[in-house]
């Protein structure tokens, strides 16, 4: 997959890609971000105030990074992903199988209000459509439930943006090709094109039923860390 797939093929193409790269996903992520991806996740979990009182959904959980951090704070965490390969890696890492669910973010297999918090990391650009995913997250969160989203972003400073594009759009595909799968690591930078701008993202969250929306921009604005609360 060397280009962005059309909407009707996106779900199939993305699932196949993540199945392919699942064996090397953790190692490549750590190398590409110099280990900072875990710090961003930890900071978001802390901002959400995850505690033993929480039941957390890790949406598009991949190999289970967010779920693992939430469990370390005493919470019950369930991970859901479209990719069987990613879930197998998550189960192998955690040593358990019951906490991982294969499913579609557009049709979450959970009852209304089942969770007190939900998190999702670097997944928004992989969904066929973002608004229905946010609506499903609102449905499965109890009133007052907290949401945390971590994604790439576009730095506002022109010089930083130039350096970010050089690394993200040129170096990442080359490194990804050497370490894992060239097509996948061409798609991942290009997929940022699917992300809405800040105002549109806020509007989507509000329309889905969230308020108290806050955004931080770590890594000099190259990452966005969003928190919100279910009305």
Contact between 49 and 159 under an 8 Å Cβ cutoff? The reply is: no
Q: Which pLDDT score is estimated for 182? A: 85
In a domain? residue 166: no
Quick: pLDDT tens for 14-64.
Answer: 999 999 999 999 998 888 888 899 999 999 999 999 999 999 999 999 999
Q: Which long-range contacts (CB under 8 A, 24 or more apart) does 210-219 make?
A: 210/134, 210/138, 210/147, 216/47, 217/153, 218/36, 218/40, 218/43, 219/36, 219/40
Q: How many domains does the chain have?
A: 1
In a domain? residue 181: no
Local structure of 197: helix, strand or coil: coil
Contact between 45 and 70 under an 8 Å Cβ cutoff? The reply is: yes
Given a cut of 70, whether residue 167 has pLDDT beyond it is yes
Given a cut of 50, whether residue 96 has pLDDT beyond it is yes
Annotated binding residues for S-adenosyl-L-methionine, as ranges? 63, 81, 104-105
Q: Which neighbouring-strand residues pair with 178?
A: none
In the chain, the percentage of residues whose pLDDT exceeds 70 is 99
In a domain? residue 137: yes
CA 148 to chain centre: 9
d(CA 9, CA 4): 10
In a domain? residue 186: no
Q: Which pLDDT score is estimated for 81? A: 97
Quick: pLDDT tens for 73-82.
Answer: 999 999 999 9
Q: Which pLDDT score is estimated for 7? A: 78
Given a cut of 90, whether residue 150 has pLDDT beyond it is yes
**Residue from 180, 199, 132, 183 nearest 21 by CA:** 180
Given a cut of 70, whether residue 3 has pLDDT beyond it is no
Q: Which pLDDT score is estimated for 1? A: 44
In a domain? residue 104: yes
CATH number at residue 54: 3.40.50.150
Quick: pLDDT tens for 108-139.
Answer: 999 999 999 999 999 999 998 999 999 999 99
Determine the structural domain holding residue 28 and report its residue range.
Answer: 7-155+193-230
In a domain? residue 169: no
Quick: pLDDT tens for 171-227.
Answer: 888 888 888 888 888 898 889 989 999 999 999 999 999 999 999 999 999 999 999
Annotated binding residues, as ranges? 63, 81, 104-105
Q: Which pLDDT score is estimated for 2? A: 46
Q: How does DSSP assign 122-145, residue by residue?
A: S-GGGSS-HHHHHHHHHHHEEEEE
Q: Which long-range contacts (CB under 8 A, 24 or more apart) does 191-200 make?
A: 191/4, 191/125, 191/126, 192/125, 192/152, 192/154, 192/168, 193/4, 193/125, 194/4, 194/124, 194/125, 194/126, 195/124, 195/125, 195/151, 195/152, 195/153, 196/130, 198/224
**Residue from 150, 166, 165, 143 nearest 212 by CA:** 143
In a domain? residue 168: no
In a domain? residue 177: no
């Amino acid at each position: 997959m060397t280009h962005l797939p059309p909407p009707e093929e996106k779900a199939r193409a993305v699932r196949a890609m993540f199945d392919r790269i699942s064996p090397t996903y953790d190692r490549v992520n750590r190398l590409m971000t110099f280990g900072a991806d875990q710090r961003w996740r930890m900071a978001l979990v802390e901002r959400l105030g995850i505690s033993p009182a929480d039941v957390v959904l890790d949406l598009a959980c991949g190999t289970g990074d967010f779920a693992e951090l939430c469990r370390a704070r005493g919470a019950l965490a369930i991970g859901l992903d479209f990719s069987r390969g990613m879930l197998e890696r998550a189960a192998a890492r955690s040593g358990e199988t019951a906490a991982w669910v294969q499913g579609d973010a557009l049709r979450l297999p959970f009852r209304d209000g089942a969770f007190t918090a939900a998190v999702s990391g670097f997944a928004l650009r992989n969904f066929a459509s973002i608004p229905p995913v946010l609506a499903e997250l609102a449905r499965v969160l109890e009133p007052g439930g907290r949401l945390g989203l971590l994604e790439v972003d576009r730095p506002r400073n022109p010089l930083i943006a130039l350096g970010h594009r050089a690394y993200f759009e040129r170096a990442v595909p080359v490194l990804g090709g050497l370490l894992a799968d060239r097509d996948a690591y061409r798609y991942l930078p290009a997929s940022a094109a699917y992300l809405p701008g800040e105002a549109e993202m806020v509007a989507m969250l509000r329309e889905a039923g969230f308020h108290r929306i806050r955004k931080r921009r770590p890594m000099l604005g190259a990452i966005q860390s969003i928190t919100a609360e279910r009305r």
